[in-house]
Structure 1
């Protein structure tokens, strides 16, 4: 039986032997972890490359729809510019702000840029109600402007926007019970394949159209003004949604391209780390074999 004085020395020796054996086990665990991380990053790289190809394919179609929609919105703007239509300044009346986003993500800061634009406008003048098209901006703006939301639409951005979709949204907006002094549509304006900016366009009320100095030159009956207002609102929404869709597809392609490049860099770094760790494991095993062979020869 060991004496009390010898027991601490025995425990210290066992601790040293366990610490000596630990690095080999940890090294093998690290190798497996690095190999698993490499596999995950390669899978992510495949997904991002595929999403980039899909976005590149959709971009031409989205840009074509955007160019066609500009003729709709441009025609409405020409009419109001010729009539010198301007929003009416009415005290106590709220403004209606329509935000055009979509339900899809993985496209950089397209939606968050719109939300920041709305929040900045709210700091200047918070007397407005919100209509949000798309779940992304709805989720972001509900944290700060939930009380101002009166209507939201889901299911946007699944495909290229159509005039029928814009007409249905305009019909719901016109039926809102609030008496608004002006309607403002906020969307992402397509500049080129790599840049876009949040922009606001006006959709005028019936009172503003009637008060236009040169509107009488168009000889439009006052009974038809509600139809004209809804039609021009649908035109502007179609324009805004089509431009925003093109910006979203372009931003998604750029985001997936950057993600693929970052994944490639990470794969290169982890591959070097894996090779070095594996080489260290092999070297350690060879040293153990040589030490064992030398020890057996000395016996």
Structure 2
């Protein structure tokens, strides 16, 4: 009976219940830890924004130089080949292995999905602003792990080959030549190659686009090349070189879009972290003032009771 009365009269700290001040202090501690973590995140996003801003100028210079390869290809095929047919198209989707750059990888993925699904409201457009005719069974090759993971969930039957560790820094022509060599050695039959990539519009915007390059068989059948006598290996070498040029042009432009998108994404993340820090700081100050007020009330009440 005495033990029961002792337990009944035990103070709140021994009976398992915490006083109101302890509950407030725990809340303040949680806010303080969260505030510290958000400040650390802000430091990281600001650092990544500065790095992306530094890399953007280099990426844009490489893009301007690399786009000349694509311009030369367009002039050759515009004056020497007939319109491409809809059969045996091979699609190469260009993304990268890195994230934290907004929806730039989803841009080419969604454009590819919609084009293969037959959507007419937003078709893939080539460099001449014409829609690319697509067969739903066309093979796909992907450069970059990001679009690979997205496309493999819904279009695994079309996937033939994937590439990674390409364009970790500014892409080079050697990277494009290596991809071209593997595409040719893969043995996937095609008359033309459609390269889907992000087109650089400005420092804050980009859009999915496509480059279509004729293959060896397509060059041999075109009226422009039939008018001349050429060696047997000429069309093969020209097709390989043209594909490497187009891939290189698309790689450097997609890389510039990625760096620009990462800078914008980190800028937005830093602003959001700054707003969150302000909100948490105000919440912490209010909680701290309330705790101090409660302690003063307890002190004054105790003094008055004495």
**TM-score calculated relative to the size of structure 1:** 0.90
Query: Which residue of structure 2 aligns with residue 46 of structure 1?
Result: 43
> CA offset at residue 139 of structure 1?
1.0
Paired with 1:26 and 1:272, the residues of 2 have a C-alpha distance of: 19
Take 2:52 and 2:214, find their aligned partners in 1: how far apart are those partners?
Answer: 35
Q: Contact (CA 8 Å) 1:104, 1:157: kept in 2 or not?
A: no
Deviations, residues 224-272 of structure 1 (Å, cap 9, x unaligned): 1111100000000000000000000000000000000000000000000
Q: Map of 1:104-119 to 2, 5 A cutoff?
A: 104-119=98-113
Q: Distance in 2 between matches of 1:218 and 1:77?
A: 20
SS class of match (1:107): coil
Q: Of the candidates 53, 65, 82, which is equivalent to residue 79 of structure 2?
A: 82
Q: Please list the CA deviations of residues 198-246 of structure 1 after superposition, one character each: whole Å capped at 9, or x if unmatched.
A: 1011011112212222235665433211111000000000000000000
Matched residue, 1:145: 155
SS in 2 for 1:47: helix
- Aligned match of 2:283: 273
- Deviations along 1:146-205, one digit per CA (max 9) or x if unpaired, are 221111111023100000110010011011222223211000000000000010110111
Question: Following the alignment from structure 1 to structure 2, what is the Cα–Cα distance between the partners of residues 293 and 267?
Answer: 39
| Kept after mapping to 1: 8 A contact 2:69/2:245 | yes
SS at match of 1:37: helix
- Distance, in Å, in 1 between the alignment partners of 2:97 and 2:136 is 25
Partner of 2:126: none
Q: Tell me by how many angstroms 1:96 deviates.
A: 1.0
Paired residues in the alignment total 287
Distance 2:65 2:288 in 1: 58
Superposition deviation, residue 20 in structure 1: 9.0
Question: Once superposed, what is the RMSD of the aligned Cα atoms?
Answer: 2.3
Match status 1:70 vs 2:63: no
CA distance in 2 between partners of 1:289 and 1:12 (Å): 24
Q: Does 1:37 align with 2:52?
A: no
Consecutive unaligned residues of structure 1, counting only runs of 5 or more, are: none
For 1:44, what is the secondary structure of its paired residue?
A: helix
Q: SS where residue 52 of structure 1 aligns? A: helix
Determine the structure 1 residue equivalent to 2:259: 249
From the superposition, tell whether residues 43 and 77 of structure 1 become closer, same or farther in structure 2 (CA, over 3 Å): same
Consecutive unaligned residues in structure 2, runs of 5 or more: 119-134
Does structure 1 residue 233 correspond to structure 2 residue 243? yes
Structure 2 length normalisation: TM-score? 0.88
Check 1:164–1:286 CA distance in 2 against 1; reply closer, same or farther (3 A cut): same
